Chains A and B, each alone.
Chain A
Amino acid sequence: MADRRTEHLPGAGASLHHYVRGLVLSVLLTGAAFALVMTHALPRNATIFVILALAAIQIFVHLVDFLHIDGSLEQRWNVYAALFALLVVGILVGGSIWIMFSAHANMNIGTPMPGMTMTPEAF
């Protein structure tokens, strides 16, 4: 299996059970998220919390089973790059939401202009 031409490729060492496991877990996690939202089984905030958690787990499943990130020594720099990207994402997304919430809270909008609904509350 460790052919010279494929040993450094992302899929090196991948086998069928990775893809089967990834597929089964993804179907379960995605199905659960859609079912929760479509059946209104939980209150709104609890639903949001749970589906965000399900998404995080599914991202992890995809990274391990489809992208074959396994934290081996060879992949150390890939993982560092990913962690740095994650830091930038945290600053970007977290910072944007934080700033826009504060701006919204501190702007005393007495009579909102028609059609102007500045409510940063997607989460």
Chain B
Amino acid sequence: MTILDLPEAHSVHAPQHPSAAADDAELTEKTVFGFWLYLMSDVVLFATLFAVFAVVGRSYAGGPTGQELFDLPYVLVETAVLLASSVAFGFVTLAAQDDRRQATLLWMAVTFAIGAVFIVMEVYEFHHLIEEGAGPSRSAFLSAYFTLVGTHGLHVASGLLWMIVTGFQLARDGLTATVHRRLGLLGLFWHFLDVIWIVVFTEVYLIGVL
């Protein structure tokens, strides 16, 4: 399937087929590393947006400032919600490890519900800002804010979609090697988004109101 498999496919001697389990293990190792490289490229994407915010985050163009707009208790709740969903996914990982299919599904549903609350809160926050005339076109600060926080929100929304798809696969196929692998990658993605959020609430909200 991949370039790495080609030499074996073209070898004169019949390849010695290792056991299916060993194949799965090797595929998992490669896939996890590949996904990790994707996450690192995502780090660079977010770093670009953080750099933009650092540069224009105080260019208010006479419009509202972060101090006037941001409601820290609300952001604290958002932060707690995202952290809770990250921990909830930890229970997905633990349940999957113990081959407990029902528990895995249950914790995925919990993670999904908490993650959905985060997205709803963020959409409400954006809606509220735009209603107040503090939309993304108001100032460089708000353009950078909506781009950065919105990009994070889109990632979380993609994670929720991924969770639905993997949840269906788990319900249909059980905890196969493929489902285990996808749950592992989804976990990396989900916890990674919580790490990005640490930088968001620190740079955008906390320093933004100072």
Contacts and interface: CB of A to CB of B under 8 A. Distances in A.
Contacts of B54: 93, 96-97, 120, 122-123
Interface residues of B, number: 67
A4 B25 contact: yes
B194 A62 contact: yes
Interface stretch (B112-120, B123-131, B196-204): B196-204
A11 B93 contact: yes
Given A4-B21, A115-B62, A121-B58, A93 B210 contact: no
Contact of B44 (A10, A26, A55, A88): A88
B59 interface: yes
A48 B6 CA distance: 53
Contacts, number: 174
Interface size class of A (residues with CB under 8 A): 35 or more
A38 interface: yes
Contact of A10 (B21, B32, B41): B32
Interface string A72-97: 00100110011011101100110011
Interface of A: 1, 3-12, 14-16, 18-19, 22-23, 26-27, 30, 33-34, 37-38, 44, 47-48, 51-52, 54-55, 58-59, 62-63, 66-67, 74, 77-78, 81-82, 84-86, 88-89, 92-93, 96-97, 100, 114-123
